[in-house]
Each structure stands twice: as structure tokens, then as C-alpha cells.
Amino acid sequence: MKKILILLPVILLTTWLGCGGNPEATEPVNTGANDENPKKTKGIIAYTPLTLSNPFFKVIGNHIKAEAEKNGYETLMVDPDMDVKKQSDQIDDFIAKNVTAIILVPCDRLSVGPAVQAANKAGIPVFTVDAKCAARGANIEGHVGTDNFQGGELAGKAMISALEGKEGKVLILDFKKANSCVLRVAGFKKIIHAHNKEAEGKIKVVSELDGNGDRTKGYQSTADALQAHEDLDAIFAINDPSALGAYTAVKEANRENKIKIIGFDGQLDGKQAIKDGKIYADPIQHPDKMGKQIVQLIIKYQAGESFDPETLISATLYTKTEADQDPELK
């Protein structure tokens, strides 16, 4: 069987390597396999993330590919570009190709359910990475992701530190379509609520707006919030792209020296922004571990071995102290 890899065109937004464009999917292309000496493989592991425009999901994909190849599997990677209809069609295509397993980052934790059920009916196991599928009746064999609630707690503690324990008015840029982001906000609020019970200076969430996980929407929502709340003190964004979009809006309003921003993820541009003083801190994820461990679950499943259906990897807090010592940064 020839080794297959999907190469997809990615449209970059002017403001971030993110989720705004809608590139047309291309047909799979052969990469790496020798046509004259095709290698036998154990099967195909297919991967459809939220979007490949976000470098975070590319890192997961690269490690899925590396771990799969090491264990004798081909990989098929496609880009739904945050479109649940496109993602559902991709899953249907995986079913038609009779892939060995499907790795999914749901574009919509509920609406992707029927496509997952179709894979279940076809006998193809579905695994999730980073974000869970919450659709009723959709069977997921295993999940690997960040402990997003714990990461949200880290973000809450970072917010208290950023405001120096004083009172403050906070905007949350959320993304309710992703279960992972819902958990981040819940963890954040838990810490803020506990802080407010004892502290004299209360931290008040004055607005929760959709940041869509991308720079463009993060910018737009922050600009709207700055109009409505001239005394805004801080922002918690559920990922780096929306945090960077928020910073652009804050800078345009000449308030970058007043408003503190907490992001999430630890992408390279997010880390650089922390070093440059644009973002205060990030709870960072470990996409390399996610990609490797989700393939390991699939291998155990194929071998009939038992495994924990959920693996959560703790987030770690990344501040300017870590950024100043990071050799990857400028």
C-alpha cells in the first residue's frame, strides 16, 4: 500500500496563523512511499483536527504521523478549517476508505455526533485529542488531552498575580463550541470566585464574548468590549491566537500599558509575546505528548489491550521568567 499524506493549502489571515480562512480541501497526495517498492503497512490512521491553520494542531499531527510510522501505520491528515460540515464529510470519506482508526478534534462538540455515529456503525474506532466530543450516542474509544480545568485554574492564579491582588474588571474571550475551552473558563472562574470570597479587592468578570479561537474574532470582540468598558483591567483568552488578537485591539486603543492579558496554549508566537511583554502569562499545553500518546492508545486498542479511556496531561504556567530563558525565542 502506498504511503499517503494529505497536503492542504492553508490560507493565512493577516492577523494570525489561525482559523479565519476557508481553504478548499485537496485530494490526498502520495508522500514518502517509493512507487517501485511500496511498503506494507498495518493500516491507515486518519486525523481531522479543528484546523491546521493553528500551529498547535500541526504539532499534534506531526507527532501522530511520526508515532504511527514508527509502528507501521500510514497517516491521512485533512483540514476542516473549523467547519463541522466539512469535518463530517471528511469522516464519511475516512469510512469509505476503511481507515484503521480516526483521530478527531471536534469542530463542534455536539454537531459532529452523527458523523461519529456513522463511524461507530462502520466498526471504525474514533479517538479524540485535545477536545472531546460531547454528542449523545457518539462512542469515543479513547481521549488524550490537556487537563483544561486545571489549566484554567492556572490562568485564574496568573490573573490574580497580574492584577497584584487588587480589584479589577475582566473580559473573557471564550469559545463554547470546544469542550476544552469551556473547561478552561470553568477552572478560571473557580479560582476567581474563591479569591473573591476572601480578598478585599474583587475581580469582576464584566463581559464574556466569543473569541472563536482566532486573531480576527479575538480582535473584534476585544474592540467591542473596550468600547463598552472603558475601565477594563484585564483579559483572559482561551488560546494564544485570540489573546494576540486582543492585544492588537488593546494597542490600537493605547491601553497596552494598563490591560493585562492571560492566554493559553504556549504556541511559539504566544511565548514570544510573553517575552515581549504583550501577554502576561500562558498555561501551556504539550501537543507533542498528545500526538504520541493518542497513537499509542490506538495501538493498544488494535492489540486488544486494556487502557484508560481518558489521559489528561497537566498544563504548566509559562511566564516572562521562562520566556527570558527560552532558547527558541528571539
- Span 306-315, pLDDT tens digits: 999 999 999 9
Whether 216 and 266 map to the same domain: the answer is yes
- What are the distances in angstroms from CA 247 to CA 3, 194, 241, 273, 277? 42, 27, 10, 9, 10
Whether 130 and 49 map to the same domain: the answer is yes
DSSP state of 34: -
H-helix or E-strand spanning residue 77: strand 74-77
**Range in 34-43, 223-232, 234-243 the model is least confident about:** 34-43
Q: Please check whether residue 190 lies inside any domain of the structure.
A: yes
Average pLDDT over the chain reads 89
Whether 9 and 111 map to the same domain: the answer is yes
Whether 80 and 188 map to the same domain: the answer is no
What pLDDT is stored for residue 39 in this prediction?
A: 64
Q: Assess whether pLDDT exceeds 90 at residue 190.
A: yes
What pLDDT is stored for residue 20 in this prediction?
A: 32
Q: What value does the mean pLDDT take over residues 221-248?
A: 97
Q: What value does the mean pLDDT take over residues 167-186?
A: 95
Give the number of domains in the chain: 2
Whether 30 and 140 map to the same domain: the answer is yes
Q: What value does the mean pLDDT take over residues 190-206?
A: 95
Residue 14 CB coordination number (10 Å): 7
Structural domain of 14: 4-145+286-313
CATH number at residue 183: 3.40.50.2300
Whether 259 and 269 map to the same domain: the answer is yes
The pLDDT tens digits for 16-69 are 333 333 333 333 433 333 444 456 889 999 999 999 988 899 999 999 999 999
Cα-to-chain-centroid distance, residue 24: 21
The pLDDT tens digits for 79-133 are 999 999 999 999 999 999 999 999 999 999 999 999 999 999 999 999 999 999 9
What pLDDT is stored for residue 18 in this prediction?
A: 34
Q: Please check whether residue 265 lies inside any domain of the structure.
A: yes
